[in-house]
Amino acid sequence: RKEVEQDPGPFNVPEGATVAFNCTYSNSASQSFFWYRQDCRKEPKLLMSVYSSGNEDGRFTAQLNRASQYISLLIRDSKLSDSATYLCVVNPPGTYKYIFGTGTRLKVLA
Amino acid sequence: GAVVSQHPSRVICKSGTSVKIECRSLDFQATTMFWYRQFPKQSLMLMATSNEGSKATYEQGVEKDKFLINHASLTLSTLTVTSAHPEDSSFYICSVTDSNQPQHFGDGTRLSIL
């Protein structure tokens, strides 16, 4: 089983749609979780950290389910500019290392 | 503003050449920096953890003699790809962390070996 798994997509959605991505992780002791956004041929940029109680930043909501070992990202009212690859990142315990998922590609269509 | 500066952004060179990539932490002193590699349509894979003043820690399968890492100061780490070959062509990205904060990534270096 991969340490971090994501559906690669692509998810093609119309503008204004709501879309959700899930990501599962294998190390139940992992403590820190993040969503990064990566545009084509660019570096990853932090979208949001994921907190145990769930957190929201504008149109973006992140949730953590420790029992089932997955995190999710919900994007409401999708914009064309949301088109990118969304990377799920898990920080295993006792290290500053990041384990990246393969990313989920989102295309928002006009 | 930028937290990490990575240079160069693009390198095209002949097989057998050694290539040095620099990663600078602009906002804080970074005792730890990370080097990643990303092949097309794949995820970022950690190559090594760069530790200021000590040897780098390499991930399994990464040749330490081929990918030389030097972290001589708290703001600069360098990755040298020695005797590069076409299969080393990839997107190399560094990141820095301030202990409890999320990692910030450099702009990446696109390396093409002919």
Give residue-wise pLDDT tens across range A11-49: 999 999 999 999 999 999 998 999 999 999 899 999 999
Mean pLDDT of chain A: 94
Label residue B1 by pLDDT band (50, 70, 90): low
Cis peptide before A8 (omega within 30 of 0): no
Q: For B55-87, b where at least 16 C-beta lie within 10 A, e where not — what string?
A: ebbbeeebeeeebbbebeeebbbbbebeebeee
Q: Is the pLDDT of residue A94 over 90?
A: no
DSSP B78: E
Give the pLDDT mean for B42-64: 92
B3 versus B78: the higher-pLDDT residue is B78
Whether residue A43 and residue B93 make contact (CB cut-off 8 A), yes or no, is: yes
Contacts of B5 in chain A (CB under 8 A): none
3-state secondary structure of A81: helix
> Parallel, antiparallel, or unpaired: how do β-strands B10-13 and B4-7 relate?
unpaired
A-B CB pairs within 8 A amount to: 42
**Contact (Cβ atoms closer than 8 angstroms) between residue B38 and residue B93:** yes
Q: B34 — contact with chain A (CB < 8 Å)?
A: yes
Query: Which residue of chain A has the CA closest to B48?
Result: A97
